[in-house]
Structure 1
Amino acid sequence: MLNRMATLLIVEDDALLRDALAGQLGPLGWDIATATNVEQARSALQNQAVDGVILDLGLPGGDGLDVLTWARAHISGLPVLILTARDGIEDRVRGLNSGADDYLTKPFDMLELQARVQAMLRRARQPAFQQANAGPSTTVGELQLDHGLRQATLGGEPLDLTQREWELLELLVHRAGEVVTRDDVLAAWHASPPEPGQSSAALNSNALEVYVHRLRKKLDASPLSIRNIRGLGYMLEKP
């Protein structure tokens, strides 16, 4: 149980599921608000204080990702859990890269959903999380990423990055100190538009090695390093 009443916004157009979620989550101590489409969801976020969102993607009047994109632009640090029938890896990567804190596919276990929502709201209350979400930028040592402009600076000097190098660096920074698998990177690349003159077929493990090598050279002047974790992937080591 949380220490105080929190308001959860459930964005779901299926009335039976929406009522079931409200019926199961409400008695746990959460105040429940609901929306059935994109317009209602935005209105709810604009007109009341919301501590977290459970978001379906297949909504009338637009995609749930439209709600997520709007929320990320207007409400810093709002915890969002995507609950959807879209279970493809590209869908999951697209949702997480768009700013979702968690992603759960239907059908699901209600106890697991409850645990994920509790964990999500606990993380949102941690000082480190609040500091990280204070603005549209991330800093690791001398490296700073402006996610809105998709630009990086190292020691105050801009880094010249290609689209794929930026996406790789952003993923490594987001999970600094953790292993990022090759599949994670390739899935993120395939879920985004190709670079000019490049086909998606060109994105493979060999291409990834090339991009990692280029990125390492561009970080040479800093204490940051990209470590190769044999058989698993890569990790950005914090200074």
Structure 2
Amino acid sequence: MRILLVEDDAMLGDAVRANLTQDGASVDWVLDIADAKLALVDHAYQAVLLDLGLPGGSGLTVLKMLRERYDATPVLIITARDRLSDRVQGLDAGADDYIVKPFQLDELQARLRAVTRRSNNTVVSAIRCRDVVVEPARRAVSRAGKEIGLSVHEYRTLLALMERVGQTASREQLEAAVYGGSGTIESNTVAVYIHQLRRKLGDDLIATVHGVGYRIDADAPA
């Protein structure tokens, strides 16, 4: 299991990482919002452990970025904020569970197992268009029954288009789906991912709407 730990308390972060690593997990540990967003852009995780009080703002901005791009990765909030209103706000923003500091590491592990187990058992409908199938639960893509390997960025670009079949997605919409509005993005980045998707899935799937964006149509072009 690969986990992203977002925690600026050095002592707690070190203890959590050591404990989870000993339990067999691979843990990427970052200290602030900017590094958390970069990690989530570049990697796929089975779970995120997210502190709320972080340098640069609230960890809820990281959670919002995930959910706005339809990323259902389980998020367990770890924080010293113990007011009911804080817990409600975190859960309403899309967190899967909430644990208040100080906590026992055994309880953290149990809650982490619970949120990942619920995530694995959640039935997420496959998205189908023509002979292309996207399975969000497995982050899997196939065409004509053959599974196609995509990078994280390619997958997110395709998912954004598949969720808008018949509608044109602008470059800005696709950038938001892939990057969550974080960082500086080169002007041709989306075009590069579209090119890679066409190479892997076929030139007939994604149409260019000149001056507007890209679109996948329900029917194959004549």
- What TM-score do you get using the length of structure 2 for normalisation? 0.55
Q: CA deviation at 1:71?
A: 0.9
Instruction: Output the CA distance in 2 between the equivalents of 1:17 and 1:47.
Output: 25
> 2:25 aligns to what?
30
Instruction: Output the CA distance in 1 between the equivalents of 2:111 and 2:125.
Output: 21
Instruction: Output the CA distance in 2 between the equivalents of 1:104 and 1:131.
Output: 30
Instruction: Output the CA distance in 1 between the equivalents of 2:71 and 2:42.
Output: 16
> 1:204 aligns to what?
none
> 2:74 aligns to what?
79
Structure 1 segments unaligned to the other structure (5+ residues): 1-5, 136-239
> 2:38 aligns to what?
43
Retained in 1: the 8 A contact 2:66–2:72? no
Q: CA deviation at 1:97?
A: 0.2
Retained in 1: the 8 A contact 2:50–2:78? yes
Q: What does the per-residue CA deviation read over 1:152-175, in whole Å, with 9 as the maximum and x for residues that have no partner?
A: xxxxxxxxxxxxxxxxxxxxxxxx
Q: CA deviation at 1:32?
A: 0.4
TM-aligned CA distance change 1:108 to 1:35, over 3 Å: same
Letter in 1 for 2:67: R
Q: What does the per-residue CA deviation read over 1:140-193, in whole Å, with 9 as the maximum and x for residues that have no partner?
A: xxxxxxxxxxxxxxxxxxxxxxxxxxxxxxxxxxxxxxxxxxxxxxxxxxxxxx
Q: CA deviation at 1:85?
A: 0.3
> 1:104 aligns to what?
99
Q: CA deviation at 1:19?
A: 0.6
Say whether residues 1:17 and 2:12 are aligned partners: yes
- Partner SS, residue 125 of structure 1: helix
Say whether residues 1:58 and 2:66 are aligned partners: no
> 1:221 aligns to what?
none
Instruction: Output the CA distance in 1 between the equivalents of 2:10 and 2:30.
Output: 10
- Partner SS, residue 12 of structure 2: helix
Indicate the RMSD between aligned Cα atoms, in angstroms. 1.9
Instruction: Output the CA distance in 1 between the equivalents of 2:61 and 2:97.
Output: 16
Which of 64, 69, 73 is the equivalent residue of 2:64? 69
- Partner SS, residue 99 of structure 1: coil
> 1:216 aligns to what?
none
- Partner SS, residue 104 of structure 1: strand
Q: CA deviation at 1:27?
A: 1.3
Instruction: Output the CA distance in 2 between the equivalents of 1:49 and 1:60.
Output: 23
Q: CA deviation at 1:127?
A: 4.1
Letter in 1 for 2:121: Q
Instruction: Output the CA distance in 2 between the equivalents of 1:92 and 1:48.
Output: 27
Letter in 1 for 2:14: D
Q: CA deviation at 1:62?
A: 1.4
Q: CA deviation at 1:75?
A: 4.5
Structure 2 segments unaligned to the other structure (5+ residues): 127-134, 138-222
Instruction: Output the CA distance in 2 between the equivalents of 1:26 and 1:11.
Output: 15
Matches within 5 A, 1:130-141: 130-131=124-125
Ranked by relative contact order (alpha carbons within 8 Å, sequence separation 6 or more), the top structure is 2
Instruction: Output the CA distance in 2 between the equivalents of 1:97 and 1:85.
Output: 18
Q: CA deviation at 1:87?
A: 0.3
Instruction: Output the CA distance in 2 between the equivalents of 1:127 and 1:86.
Output: 29
- What TM-score do you get using the length of structure 1 for normalisation? 0.51
Instruction: Output the CA distance in 2 between the equivalents of 1:52 and 1:113.
Output: 12
Matches within 5 A, 1:194-213: none
